[in-house]
Structure 1
Amino acid sequence: MCLYPRFKAFLHMVRRIEWLSPADIYILQFFVDHDIVLTPKVVAINTEYDQSYVGKRCRTLVERGLLERPNRGQYQITAIGREFIESGLDPDVLETDRDESG
C-alpha cells in the first residue's frame, strides 16, 4: 500500500467523521496528485485497493461533495475535496456544507 505523507495526520479525522474511511484519504490524495478525470480501475491499480471498493468509496465521496462524476464511471476531485486534503479542512465544515447543500 502506498503511504501518502499526510495520511497519518488525517487519521484522527477518520475517527471523527463517521462515513469517512481510511481508504478515502488515499483515494482523495490520489485525485489531488493527479488532477485529471479518473476511473475506479485506475485508482485501484495505483492504490492497491479493490476496484469495486474504490467505486463504492468514490460514490460516497460524490454524495459528500468531495468528488464529482462528470460521466458514468469517471470521477474528479472537487474544490472542497482538494481543500480537505491540502489544508486539512475542518471535519465540522464538511458536515455543515453537506447540511446546507441538501
Structure 2
Amino acid sequence: MDDSTTDDPAESSDAADGPETGTDDSETSADASVSETETETEAETDAEWMEPADKPILEFLQSEDAFEPNQIDDEGIAPAKYAAYRCREMTKRGLLTKHMPGVYEVSELGERYLEGTLDPSELEADK
C-alpha cells in the first residue's frame, strides 16, 4: 500500500494546475498583443492605400508656406524621396495638386479630408 502514496491525486492535480496556469497566461498575453496590433493598425491610416506619413505631410503643406518634398524632410516629417513618392500618390487620389515637378499644394479634397468631411477610402487613383 506504500505504492499508492506515489499516485496521490493531490500531487497529480498540482502538476496539472501548473502548466494550465502558464497556458492561460500565454493566451492572455497573445490576445493582448493582437489587440494592441489591431489598434495600432487602425490608428495609423484612414484608408487602406494611405501611409502613416500622409496626414502629417498634408497638414504641413496646408499650414506652412511649403510646397516641396525637401521642406517636408527639413521639418523631419519624412525623408524627401519618400515624401515625394507620397505626394505623387496623394496627387493621384486628388488630395494634392501638382503645379510642376516637385511642387505640390493641398487641393480642395485634401482640405476636406483634413477637416474630417471626406473619407479617403472612397477616393480612387487616377489612371
TM-score between the two structures when normalised by the length of structure 1 = 0.71
**Is the deviation greater in 49-58 or in 82-91?**
82-91
Aligned mate of 2:108, from 71, 79, 101: 79
The alpha-carbon deviation at position 32 of structure 1 amounts to: 1.7
Give the secondary structure class of the aligned counterpart of 1:22: coil
Q: Give the Cα separation in 2 of the matches to 1:44 and 1:73.
A: 13
Please give the secondary structure, in 1, of the residue aligned with 2:75: helix
Q: Superposition RMSD on alpha carbons, in Å?
A: 2.3
Match of 1:17 in 2: 47
Amino acid of the structure 1 residue aligned with 2:118: L
Distance 2:88 2:120 in 1: 19
Relative to structure 1, the CA distance from residue 37 to residue 46 in structure 2 (aligned partners, 3 Å threshold; closer, same or farther) is: closer
CA distance in 1, matches of 2:47, 2:116: 17
Matched-pair identity in % = 28
What SS does the corresponding residue of 1:70 show, helix, strand or coil?
A: strand
Question: For 1:88 and 1:60, how far apart are their aligned partners in 2?
Answer: 20
How far off is 1:12 after superposition? Answer: 4.0
Aligned partners of 1:62, 1:91: CA distance in 2, in Å?
12
User: Number of matched residues?
Assistant: 86
Select the structure with the greater relative contact order (CA < 8 A; seq sep ≥ 6).
Answer: 1
User: Unaligned stretches of 5+ in structure 2?
Assistant: 1-41
Counterparts of 2:114 and 2:44, CA distance in 1: 11
TM-score (norm 2): 0.58
Partner SS for 1:65: coil
Q: Rg larger in 1 or in 2? A: 2
Return structure 1 stretches of 4+ with deviation > 6 angstroms. none
